[in-house]
Amino acid sequence: MLVLVLLLAAGLFAYETGSMLAQMPVRNLEQQVARLNQDIEALRQANTELSDTAKAARASEAEWQQRYEADAPLGESKELFNLLRDRMAAGIEARRLAFVIEATGNARSCSDGAATKRFMVKTPLYQGANDQVSFGKETITITAEGANAVNAAGKAVGWFDPAKPVTVQFTEIGGKTLSKTGTLPLHHAMVTGGQEYRFTVVNGPTGFVKVSGNRCKFP
């Protein structure tokens, strides 16, 4: 009987021990699954927060784009804005610029009729006489440079090619020069000595351009 009792006790002990050992991996797996579920939930919340942040950023970007399109100067307004910025950078007071703009209108008081003069265009092969004209009692001197034309044989000739871009220089008394480059006709306006001068440069006889100039009160 004693032996049977000991064997039964040993069997029960072995069973309990084996059951505990068998349950240990299961508990470890259950703990790992619980931790993984917590990590997944944390990642899901972080993903939701990032998605909300991205939506807010896109909405803010769209709002700023709309404000930029509504407020940023474009086309002629942008050119005027850049001109105002350059003049202020040169030291012109903002109130002076504002006064000039307010005093400016489309109606002009100009001299009757436009004076027309012609001169030779300088080229790499021609640096001769009759290569400039003056307007406003020599207030403004105008010269021009262009590329040589070529003959039927493909050889360069002395006069300029009116089909190619020409650079016209408008030089004020004192040496300040403004240039305008492009194909003819060219149009240019400038203000000097309290007067506005408006010029149109067109092709003339071979080697020449013709300049029509008009003087108006400014502003």
The pTM for the full model equals 0.53
Residues 113 and 181 both lie in one domain: yes
3-state class (DSSP) for residue 186: strand
The two structure tokens encoding residue 14: 């072995």
Range of 53's domain?
1-72
Residues 23 and 53 both lie in one domain: yes
Q: How high is the pLDDT of residue 173?
A: 84
Q: How high is the pLDDT of residue 189?
A: 86
Q: How high is the pLDDT of residue 70?
A: 67
Whether the pLDDT of residue 71 is over 80: the answer is no
Q: Which of 163, 167, 202 is nearest to 182 (CA)?
A: 167
Whether the pLDDT of residue 120 is over 90: the answer is yes
Residues 25 and 56 both lie in one domain: yes
How far apart are the two ends of the chain, measured CA to CA in Å? Answer: 131
pLDDT tier for residue 201 given thresholds of 50, 70 and 90: very high
Higher pLDDT, 49 or 144: 144
**d(C-alpha 48, C-alpha 29), whole Å:** 28
Average pLDDT for residues 127-145, to the nearest whole number? 90
Residues 94 and 179 both lie in one domain: no
Domains contained in the chain, number:
3
Residues 117 and 94 both lie in one domain: no
Model pLDDT for residues 7-26, shown as the tens digit of each residue: 777 777 666 666 665 666 66
Q: Which of 136, 163, 133, 160 is nearest to 149 (CA)?
A: 160
Q: Which of 208, 158, 164, 209 is nearest to 188 (CA)?
A: 209
Residues 56 and 18 both lie in one domain: yes
Residues 116 and 146 both lie in one domain: yes
Please tell me the total number of residues recorded for the chain in this structure: 219
CATH no. for residue 147?
Answer: 2.60.98
Instruction: Measure Cα distances from 126 to 44, 149, 160, 170, 210 in Å.
Output: 79, 11, 9, 20, 18
**d(C-alpha 167, C-alpha 217), whole Å:** 27
Residues 159 and 137 both lie in one domain: yes
Which of 51, 83, 103 is where one domain is finished? Answer: 103
Higher pLDDT, 152 or 78: 152
Which of 84, 103, 122 is where one domain is finished? Answer: 103
**d(C-alpha 123, C-alpha 128), whole Å:** 9
Residues 67 and 151 both lie in one domain: no
Residues 134 and 80 both lie in one domain: no
3-state class (DSSP) for residue 35: helix
Q: If you write DSSP's letter for every residue of 44-108 in order, what string do you get?
A: HHHHHHHHHHHHHHHHHHHHHHHHHHHHS--THHHHHHHHHHHHHHTT--HHHHHHHHHH--S--
Residues 141 and 151 both lie in one domain: yes
